[in-house]
Each structure stands twice: as structure tokens, then as C-alpha cells.
Amino acid sequence: MKFLVLSVLAVVPLVSAQLSGRVGPLTTREDKAAKKVCNILDYGGVASATTDNSAAITKAWDECKAGGQVLIPSGSYGLDKWVDLTGGKGVSINLEGIIYRISNATAGGTMISVQSTDDFEFYSGNSKGAVQGYGWEFHKENKYGPRILRLTKVTDFSVHDLALVDSPAFHLTMDTVSNGEVYNLVIHGGDRGGLDGVGFWGTNLHIHDVEVSNRDECVTVKSPARNILVESIFCNWSGGSAIGSLGANTSVTQVTYQNIYTQNSNQMLMIKSNGGSGSLDHSIFRNFTGHSNAYTLNLDAFWSLREADPGDGVEFDYLTFSNWAGTCLDGIRRPPIMLACSPVWLCGNLEIENFNVWTLNGSAVTYKCVNAYGQGACMNQSPGNGAYSSIKTVATMAAEKYAIQTMPGEITKGLGITTSIDIPAVPTTFYPGLKPLSGLMAKPTGA
């Protein structure tokens, strides 16, 4: 069903919020291609979903990694051995075809790994490029396999206009990266845990216009991270967005999440830790909308699914949550605001405002605060830290306060773990009422 958008939930196009400088490649894809094009078909590649193309991709990369474009043209390409692409500078990969994991391929590792590379772009010039991981072949046996894509120590980069489908494990991981942009990306994974959508840590990163369907994390910031902007995200039957899990020596600061739409997911946002040390601070979480989610806002410093880390707890300081609306499944059993902090370390200067999430079952919602200090909800307003517990009950809420506009393309059940998942088209919208910040590479029909 469709609802009217509340005026107080007007979207916030603050593209520069929290970023420390420019993001993306230093040179254009056109300049890279003008220097050199390395078509994998010229290096032994075969357009066949059952033929291994790992050697051809590696050879093309080696020829173009000092400057140029690796081209994987339209067609189907098998991958039986994984590719480790390292040491690039001024290089792009244009994936216009579809890469398929061959069923008897290596069980672990990462299908495509890019490391120690600068001025890099991984994209699809026709917006139809995809990697099909056939994860269901592992999941039906209750097993996991390789990740699809991992970037490690990559700087000044972008990843866009791609579909990552049915990974046997995580879909996109970015490790110690900087000055990067990820956008116009669709991820469809199986309906089970351990199949994260986008997980990353680094500095000065802009993640926007991304759709994720899975049963684990949607778009998640991990430590260490600084100057992060995440916006226009569609968690479409997912685990939901998260920070963490956070452990010893946590360092996460100046993060903004805004314009996040979540439906039928485990949570809208979970900040999770168990013990540990360090801090998450000076971060903003605004314009979260969605419906039918189990949890909504959940800050859990005693997250039981993680073994306790050394330390008395992560500090949480100067966190703002504003303009949230929609519905949860059961507002008594799983309060839409749950703040559970360590009594030892600071959990203060928190602010919750304009929070309007109602329950689909029952006639009231509760807010639960444990050792959390700040303004709004059930928090103790006194500064500092210390042990206390508070519950606030909201017995009524006007429908217009929690009314939202839904998204086209909402899936109504989790995607398969015993059958193959279809490759979706990259969407043209990721948050109600907003156009993507960048258009698709493929020109619209008739354009």
C-alpha cells in the first residue's frame, strides 16, 4: 500500500555531509580507455558460462593495470578460479557481460579481489554487468562459499552500475579503502544470515543509491571508519543497516546515514558491540523510513551473538537520530527504540527527535533505555554515565505521523537458498521521492 509522505520527512540532499574531500577516480573512464583497452577476448577469454576465464581476466589486467581499461564485453563468462588483481593505477574494469561462478569452482576465498590499486573504476558501461555467484548450491547444503567482490587498500575509486547476485558468502567487502564512491548497485542474495550486502571500513567514502535483498546486513560501517556518507539505500527484505559489530579499539567517527528505506527486515539500524573499547561518535542518522521491520533503532552494547571483546565497553557520544517513521512488527515485544549501553563507559549526548514508528500488532509501543543519556525517548537527561533502566510506553500515535510512501519493487518473501536467484536490473530509484544522484550508464530507451 501507499501512504502520503510527511512534510517533516523531507529528504535531505546534503551530498557533502561528513565527507572530508572528493571521492571517486582521479581520471575519467574515457581517458583510461583512450590510453589502452584490454579486451579479455584478446587474451584467451571465451564467451561461455561454462569456460573458465580467470587467466584471461588476469592477463588483461596485467596489460592494462599501469593505465587503461579491462573490457569484459557483453556475453556470458565462467569463472572457475579466483582472480587477484593487484598494483593497478589509472585502470578500470568495464563489465558489460555476466560472470558466472562455475559450479565446481573453488569453495572459499573471493571471486574477484582488487588490492593496492589507485585511481580505479569497476563499472558496467551498459548497466547490465553482473556477477552470479550461484550461492544456493552451497546454501542448500547449509554451507558457505566464496565472496563475490573485495577491495583492499584501494584509493580514489568507484564501483557502480552492477548487479551482484546470490553470493555464497559476502557480496561486497571494502577493507581499508579511501576516497571511494559506490552507487547504482543492486545486490540480491539468499534469505539467510552470513550473506552481507555491503560491508566496509576506511575513510572518506560515499555509498549511495544501493538496493540490497538478503537476510543479513544491508549497508554496514565497520571499524575503523571516518568521514562516511551513506544515503538513498533500499534494504528490500534484508537484515537491515548496521554499525559494527564493534570490538576492541573501535574508532568510528563522522558518519552520516540519511534517506534509508527498509522493509521486512530485521532492523532499520543496529549499532552492536559486546565489551570492547574505543568510541563511535559525532554521527547522524536521519530520514529512516520503512515498514514491517522486527527491530527499528537498536543500540546494543551487550550483543549476544558476538563473544565479548576485551574492555568494559565502546563509548557512544554525540549521536543524533531524527525523522524516523513507519511501522514495526510488535512494538511491545521488540520496542522500536532500544538503547542498551555499558554502565561503565560514556553513552551520552544522544538525541532522538521526530521519531514516529507504530506497531502492526498490538495497540502500543514501548521505548527501553538502559544507561543511555541524552534527549528524547526514555533517556535520562543528566550528563554522564551510570547504571539505570527506563521504559516509556506510547499508547497512541496519529496515523499521519507514521505514514510513509512505499517503494516500487518491494519483494514479498526472501529470495531462495535452494534455487537460483534471477539477475535483477539496476533500479532507477532507491528512496521514495528521490532520483539517484547519478544516472545509469545505459541510456534510457529513446534517449
Considering only CA atoms, which of 337, 314, 363, 187 is closest in space to residue 267?
A: 337
Sign of the alpha-carbon torsion through 193, 194, 197, 198? positive
Q: Bridge partners of 246?
A: 273
Residue 391's SS3 state is strand
Question: DSSP states of 216-254 as a string?
Answer: SEEEEEEEEEEEEEEEEEEEESSSEEEEEEE-TTEEEEE
Considering only CA atoms, which of 19, 65, 4 is closest in space to residue 38?
A: 65
CA of residue 366 relative to chain centroid, distance: 28
Sign of the alpha-carbon torsion through 413, 292, 267, 226? positive
Decide if 188 is catalytic.
Answer: no
Which of these is catalytic: 139, 171, 206, 291?
291
Which of these is catalytic: 216, 281, 309, 317?
216
Alpha-carbon distances of 407 from 19, 161, 237, 329, rounded to whole Å: 28, 20, 12, 18
Residue recorded with cell 565497553: 313
Decide if 171 is catalytic.
Answer: no
The answer for residues whose C-beta is within 8 angstroms of residue 34's C-beta and 6 or more apart is none
The DSSP element (H or E) to which 61 belongs, if any, is helix 54-64
Residue 60's SS3 state is helix
Residue 9's SS3 state is helix
The C-alpha cell at 445 is 530507451
The residues annotated as belonging to the active site are 216, 291
